[in-house]
Structure 1
């Protein structure tokens, strides 16, 4: 059905440079003729709502939240009625807008807009999240610092938007819900395969870092490997010639990162918790600081561990491969581990990220208000199974690489396919809500679909990165700061 979509038969100039032509039956109107501001307080009994850059508005789950919301008097929070549009003034230019699924409360820093009759909020949220519209919002936002520019109600209501008929708005929403469901199910299926492949890779790593090299080509440790009790409750037996040593003995030093504001435009790139993924470090596209002390610059094969995060994510470790000519430092809630030359840092990275060790590390973290902290002293005292010779560590690394290389390639292919699906979805939504494609006939033919029993992809479901739980990640939940 999607492939059969065609443009509208007739177009006219919209008068908006960012929009170009629109279907001849569409109007171009100010947002103030579509929505009225709702500024109601004193409803402290209603649930708290939050805005995600990916999923829009949802009821905040305090039991599973990565961060405990520090709240003032709920009576000051604004009421958002079911079907209302609400947006974060400081993040509207990034797409922090959604439709309230229930009567609830949002921060005083939010704007709540009540749709007038014959206005479908979901259509306009889809429009407001398109790249061109967000650029228009950015140009209308005001502030001293770009990262904190605000879109006030008075500016929002003056912005011009394309507006199809109420029937057409409903048809577009129906089509996008259907298309998004199909794409999300495809993404979910690929994520499940990725999860299985990661389990397979973890099994290979676990055998290597706890039992050593197999004596056969099967990839399985054999009974011929002499074992001894490790004395480590979470580990069990280890090869007889290995040692048990605290992590700190394998390191030259452990350092906390910079506490400076990392959101600047300087030339020194700053790594945060969201840049540690699957044992690797993903470099930010831009810098953050103008200068840092030389001792806080990363060197090749430094390890970073995440000392502060949600209980599910604390203790993640990544290896800095130094695949850049730029200077790179790290934020204060990360700890740099510099490994002694007699040990292989890649082997240690495998061990620290192994399921068995990471689970143990997380159990040692101190949890307060849904935030977990694992300080460097406690982390450094944790004992590890250590092959006594660097040569054996090198062989273990090569063994894991050979065994896991094909798995990594398969995961990379699936991740790229997911990214292509997301790019396709973004383009499809933009083309539909700006009138480049006509979905009226297709929407009328769509079958009624039952509600999906599983939550559709929120960009993080089945994804161990858990970006929605990391406040610095690209898909982060927007904090409901006081105005």
Structure 2
């Protein structure tokens, strides 16, 4: 059975089936959220009592009750409209905006914090169908257009969300579509989870390969001795334990020129920030550059000559390591390590990759880890003949390149699966495709 199509009147949706309708959310559902909460603070959180649902508790379309904090029953009673029940549809409006969950397995009282909305559809509208709409590009295109030009802090405002317009068929077909997407997306998610596990195993294998090789070498017949460092273990008899500062010709950093002075930026000198180290092994370009005037103005800036190792000391990339293949200055969040003539810079890179977790564990303070230059300088390192360093580096380059290639292939598979899932959801919630055997007339 086929059905004629008609214009939806919404550019990013296009044509929809002739029997489908279009309305704003506010006509199909009630939206309830909390406006503050009489001065509730984290000091009032309890280990038991009614659940308090926050955005971080959303996991794969459900609420993870084990991660929820609790509040007193008196606090729960203060806001009746957001006393949550099984079947309720939730969406986050702050933090990571647009996370969606359907309440299930709720065995106690529950309420919301101020960053979450509860959506309760009217009797003729399937709540689970709306759940899939909110996961689709039908919603996200609207949201991006609504927030175009706004500040970097994005919110889903309740009044704006009330105006969100979506397309829908009769109740019976809504339910059929929701059930179909439940089953199909569960299959897709299962495949995606398997690939994610494969990527994780490959990354762990790579880490263990680096650890084994930089601490034991390639000759499995060589005599060993105790390094006297627990996390290093036994090492070849002729290797020595030194500190990183004694294995480098220089350990240094840099600074950030005054950001409001445009004469300091967009020059000819590469300038490495910690973010340039994210997800890469080598640095061949930088997001920003500085001028010769900046170099002359700040005595803490110097141009490091390739090749050298860079370690991110704090920020989102903390502990990340890369070999810089370009001449560049760095900011204060980066530590530069230059190899001596007796050191292979690649072995230095692999050693620091191996040390990453140890450096981070030493560096936790009040919040995010902050790896100081002093910690990096004093971190243990194994000193071994140059030809062995080169052999190890060549071996790891070859092995890690193969592993990285497989990981990249897995990530591409994951991206294709993700895009397929997005397309599937969009096509069915906008009527471009119909569920086989669906009751188009609702009879």
Could you say whether these structures have the same fold, taking a TM-score greater than 0.5 normalized by the shorter chain as the test?
A: yes
Quickly say closer, same or farther: Cα 1:259–1:188, change in 2 above 3 A.
farther
1:205 to 201, 210, 220: 210
Matched with 1:133 is: 139
Asked if 1:122 corresponds to 2:118, the answer is: no
1:385 to 369, 382, 387: 382
Matched with 2:412 is: 416
**Cα distance between partner residues in 1 of 2:283 and 2:84:** 42
Do 1:27 and 1:164's aligned partners in 2 also have CA atoms closer than 8 Å? yes
Asked if 1:305 corresponds to 2:307, the answer is: no
**Cα distance between partner residues in 2 of 1:269 and 1:165:** 58
**Cα distance between partner residues in 1 of 2:430 and 2:127:** 15
How many residues are matched?
400
Quickly say closer, same or farther: Cα 1:367–1:115, change in 2 above 3 A.
farther
Matched with 2:345 is: 345
Matched with 1:429 is: 425
1:249 shift after superposition:
3.2
Matched with 2:278 is: 276
Tell me the secondary structure at the aligned position of residue 47 of structure 1: strand
Do 2:312 and 2:318's aligned partners in 1 also have CA atoms closer than 8 Å? yes
Tell me the secondary structure at the aligned position of residue 114 of structure 1: strand
Do 2:24 and 2:164's aligned partners in 1 also have CA atoms closer than 8 Å? yes
1:190 shift after superposition:
2.4
Do 1:12 and 1:21's aligned partners in 2 also have CA atoms closer than 8 Å? yes
Matched with 2:359 is: 361
1:413 shift after superposition:
2.0
Quickly say closer, same or farther: Cα 1:86–1:192, change in 2 above 3 A.
closer
Tell me the secondary structure at the aligned position of residue 46 of structure 1: strand
Matched with 1:407 is: 403
Do 1:315 and 1:361's aligned partners in 2 also have CA atoms closer than 8 Å? no
Quickly say closer, same or farther: Cα 1:174–1:258, change in 2 above 3 A.
farther
Aligned pairs for 1:9-408 within 5 A: 9-40=3-34, 45-50=50-55, 55=60, 58-59=63-64, 79=82, 81-82=84-85, 83-88=88-93, 92=97, 95-101=98-104, 104-141=110-147, 145-214=150-219, 221-222=220-221, 225-251=222-248, 252-255=250-253, 276-277=278-279, 295=301, 301-305=308-312, 307=314, 316-321=319-324, 334-342=333-341, 343-354=343-354, 357-366=355-364, 368=366, 372-389=369-386, 391-408=387-404
**Cα distance between partner residues in 1 of 2:310 and 2:197:** 29
Greater shift in the superposed pair: 409-418 or 37-46: 37-46
Q: What stretches of structure 2 of length at least 5 have no aligned partner?
A: 260-264, 296-300
Structure with the largest fraction of helix:
2
- TM-score by length of structure 1 reads 0.68
Q: What stretches of structure 1 of length at least 5 have no aligned partner?
A: 1-6, 215-220, 444-483
Larger Rg, first or second structure (1 or 2): 2
Quickly say closer, same or farther: Cα 1:244–1:151, change in 2 above 3 A.
same
Tell me the secondary structure at the aligned position of residue 51 of structure 2: coil
**Cα distance between partner residues in 2 of 1:270 and 1:33:** 52
Tell me the secondary structure at the aligned position of residue 184 of structure 2: helix
Quickly say closer, same or farther: Cα 1:49–1:378, change in 2 above 3 A.
same
Do 2:31 and 2:158's aligned partners in 1 also have CA atoms closer than 8 Å? yes
- TM-score by length of structure 2 reads 0.73
Quickly say closer, same or farther: Cα 1:188–1:289, change in 2 above 3 A.
same
**Cα distance between partner residues in 2 of 1:385 and 1:394:** 14
Tell me the secondary structure at the aligned position of residue 31 of structure 2: strand
